[in-house]
Chains A and B, each alone.
Chain A
Amino acid sequence: MNSEQLIEFLTKLAANPWILLKILFLVAFLIYVAFAVIVVRQVNLMIKTLDGVLNLPLRMIAWIHLLAALIVFVLAVVIL
């Protein structure tokens, strides 16, 4: 990014300060999506360690949770 682009970006930011908040929200939701991926892996590890305890429902909940996190991230990109 050269100095002109930086100045243009800062001008935009000054005109609409909510852009900065939007970026913060998106970063937070991105971190949440990463967390949801880890939860899926965690559930798989747990089921591998202890087989026979609600395997299918737990896997389903973990994947639905990941899907929800992705949907909310996309929603934040569109709405904000």
Chain B
Amino acid sequence: MPDIFVAKKKPVKTSPPQKTNALAAFIKKPKNINFETQEKKEEIVLFLRRHWITNVPWVLVIVLMLVAPVFLRFFPLLDFLPGRFQFITLIGWYLLTTAVVFEKFLSWLFNVNIITDERIVDIDFPSLLYREISSAKIDQVQDISTKVGGFIRSLFNYGDVLIQTAGTEPEICFEAVPQPGQVAKILNQMMLEEEQEKIEGRVR
């Protein structure tokens, strides 16, 4: 029996996959990035991490740590130590600085938020060898709100995206991500598509 009414499939506006810059904070459809709990047919739609400007405070601290030994010439705090101890202390200091740089960089690089065609995923590494992965299906998302406040956040267009869900994780927060308005728009669009799929009975 011929169908009386066939709903036209709305063409989904999606940009082509971008050439992935591993250090970018806002990547649409990244190539060559996968996460551990990703399913075979699941595609990453948006890959986010904190805006690069959020790194400025710790970079300034590192600059201070790097130049701190120079001030020992003017304030000889270590002069009571023999030369060999001063030398090893200096090497130890720079080793510690290296560790701080590496840890801070890793924290920025791997604390990410991912929106796939099926769900939203929040990957956090709050401390050494500890990780938190929270996720919620798109159809469980109930409310999306964005928060951009303050001079720096407005200037560089970054902020928080708060996602209320009906899942086990009641709220997922994308912290200090670039273009929060755009993120919310994409999420809203995906929620509509998901609802449309439910109405039409399409199940992936």
- Interface residues of chain A, those whose CB is within 8 Å of chain B, are 18, 21, 25, 28-29, 32, 35-36, 38-39, 41-43, 45-46, 48-54, 58, 61-62, 65, 68-69, 72, 75-76, 79-80
Contact = CB atoms under 8 A, between A and B. Distances in A.
Given A61-B102, A65-B102, A72-B95, A80 B34 contact: no
26 contacts: A32-B99, A36-B99, A41-B129, A42-B106, A43-B106, A45-B131, A46-B110, A50-B33, A50-B110, A50-B112, A51-B34, A52-B20, A52-B32, A52-B34, A54-B23, A58-B109, A65-B99, A68-B95, A68-B98, A69-B95, A75-B88, A75-B91, A79-B87, A79-B88, A80-B85, A80-B88
A49 B91 contact: no
Given A35-B99, A38-B129, A75-B88, A49 B32 contact: no
Nearest to B96: A32
Interface string B118-151: 0000010100110101000000000000000000
B133 A53 contact: no
Using C-beta atoms within 8 Å of the partner chain, give the interface range for chain B: 20 to 34
Interface of B: 20, 22-23, 30, 32-36, 81-82, 84-85, 87-88, 91-92, 95-96, 98-99, 102-103, 106, 109-110, 112, 123, 125, 128-129, 131, 133
B33 A52 contact: yes
A62 B32 CA distance: 22
B99 A50 contact: no
Contact of A38 (B20, B125, B128): B128
Given A51-B33, A52-B33, A54-B22, A29 B92 contact: yes
B88 A39 contact: no
Contacts of A68: 95, 98
Given A36-B99, A41-B129, A42-B129, 7 more contacts: A32-B92, A32-B99, A45-B131, A50-B110, A51-B36, A68-B98, A79-B88
Given A18-B82, A38-B129, A53-B22, A76 B33 contact: no
Contact of A39 (B103, B123, B125): B103
A39 B102 contact: yes
A50 B35 contact: yes
A73 B31 CA distance: 42
A50 B85 contact: no
A46 B106 contact: yes
